[in-house]
Structure formats: structure tokens, C-alpha cells
Chains A and B, each alone.
Chain A
């Protein structure tokens, strides 16, 4: 049973428009959520996170929204740039699981010039 799901394997958007990447989770004990970005032949790099006590966290062009009742989070990128083209992983942690992260399968974002 996959506890963190990214149901869209790929997303294509035009440069300058908004990119919205979605993530759903099933474990109600998750209380810390992270997004990582991965370029080919590189390791993932941390992008932004949110604690379950918040419903929004913003960092420049990146905003993460958390809807605890729906067990859903989303990453908004505004405006999207060609350099944002990468694989985006959603990850979730639970204090009851020693803080270890469970990762989704990733969404490949392509931003077209």
C-alpha cells in the first residue's frame, strides 16, 4: 500500500504560466511534508517543506499548500521557467516513524519556452 501518491507521472506547462504538482497521502500520522527536485544524473535537492500545523508555506516562486482533511498537498510554481523542468518528489514524515521520509513516485515537469 503506497502511503504517498503522486498520481500525475508528468506535467507540461508553458513558460510563465503556473505549474501545480499534486500529492496525496494516506497515513494520518504524517506531520511534516517536503518537496524535492531532481535533475537527470543528479541526486534530489530539497525545495520546500511544510509542517502539519500550517496550511501554506511560500519561498519565492514556490508555494506549498497542505489540506489535512483531504490528506492532500500541492506545490505551485509561479511563474514557471524552463530551468524548472525536472522530476519533483513529494515526501512525508511521521514522528511515530522516527522522522523517516516516505517518497512518492515523482512527477516529471516540463516547462516549454
Chain B
């Protein structure tokens, strides 16, 4: 029972490089979310999706893009990485709103 799987777990990028973080869930959840967590802070919502083919901006969307082409996958892209995007990124999913979210174990991203 995998739940929510994030790939990769760690990555180091240089400023200006691009990359895509992959999130996959096997619970047939409609809602998926991308958060970032910085030291000493809570989770801040970057983008979210309420179903296949939909995406919406969260609290801190600038510098990120997302896609939800398949219900089970939610991709987070950084087109031109900046040091300010150094963070731990968490993906989550839920069956619907007002339901507890299931989280992956995070991707630790460092941008030099």
C-alpha cells in the first residue's frame, strides 16, 4: 500500500536549471496538493488540483507550474530555479475537500 509517492527524494540544482517533481497516489483521490516547508515554518500551499485536468494557484505559486494529466499524478515544475526555492516539498492528496490529507515523505531540494 504505497499511498503517496514522491520522486526524487533529494536533488541539488544550479540557479537557472529546470526540473520536475513527480507525485503519484494510488488511493483514487480527486484532490492533490503541492506544499513547501521552510525551516521553522508550516506548510504553504503552492498549487492544487480538484480533479484530473484541473489546476489552481495556492498561497505561493510564483516560479512554479503544475500539471494533472492523469488522476493519479500531479507534477510540479520549476522552469528556472532560484535559491529562494530551496525547501522541502510535500505532495498530498485527499478524497475530497474537508477530508484529511495523505502526504508523501517529501523532496528535499537545494538550489545553489
Contacts and interface: CB of A to CB of B under 8 A. Distances in A.
A104 B42 contact: yes
Contacts of A99: 96-98
Nearest to B91: A43
Given A93-B98, A98-B50, A100-B58, A45 B103 contact: yes
Contact of A89 (B4, B42, B56, B96): B42
Interface in A54-104: 89, 93, 95, 98-101, 103-104
A44 B97 contact: no
B46 to A, nearest CB: 12
B13 to A, nearest CB: 20
A110 interface: no
Given A89-B42, A105-B41, A46 B97 contact: no
A95 B45 CA distance: 16
B43 to A, nearest CB: 4
A50 to B, nearest CB: 12
A6 B102 CA distance: 22
Interface residues of B, number: 25
Contact of B102 (A9, A46, A95, A103): A46
Interface size class of A (residues with CB under 8 A): 20 to 34
Interface string A10-36: 000000000000000000000010101
Nearest to B96: A99
B58 A103 contact: no
B40 A105 contact: yes
A34 B42 contact: no
Interface of B: 4, 33, 35, 40-45, 48, 50, 56, 58, 90, 92, 96-98, 100-106
Given A44-B103, A99-B98, 11 more contacts: A36-B103, A41-B105, A42-B106, A43-B92, A43-B105, A89-B42, A99-B96, A99-B97, A100-B97, A103-B42, A106-B42
